[in-house]
Amino acid sequence: MGKQTRDVLRNHRIVCTGGTGTLLGKAEPELSIHHLQRGSHGGDQQLGALVATGELDAVIFFADPESSGSIDFDLLALIRLSTQHDIPIACSPAAADLVIAASL
């Protein structure tokens, strides 16, 4: 992660599902991270609830493109909620960079 991205994220409350939060916390220990449940244990739904209640400014959510599963219904629900509540959602690294750059 670049210094400019780190500086932007340092000024925000970061909410992550379990596995992502653990990885990000190890890579960037100075960031303040609120951990939800693992995605498969309800974390995706917790994230959706935060979108629905207006508690998030943006969502960055990377699904595994190599996953052998069919359509990820949790991701589709999160995209639908983000659209309904006019919350920007980024599902690729390039889109995430744009969301972060918009915070500058």
Question: Is 72 tagged catalytic?
Answer: no
Q: Which residue do the tokens 């190890």 mark? A: 26
DSSP 92: S
Q: Residues 44, 64, 72, 86: which is the catalytic one?
A: 44
| Phi, psi for 60 (deg, rounded to 5) | -120, 115
Q: Which residue do the tokens 């219904």 mark? A: 73
| Residues recognised as catalytic | 44
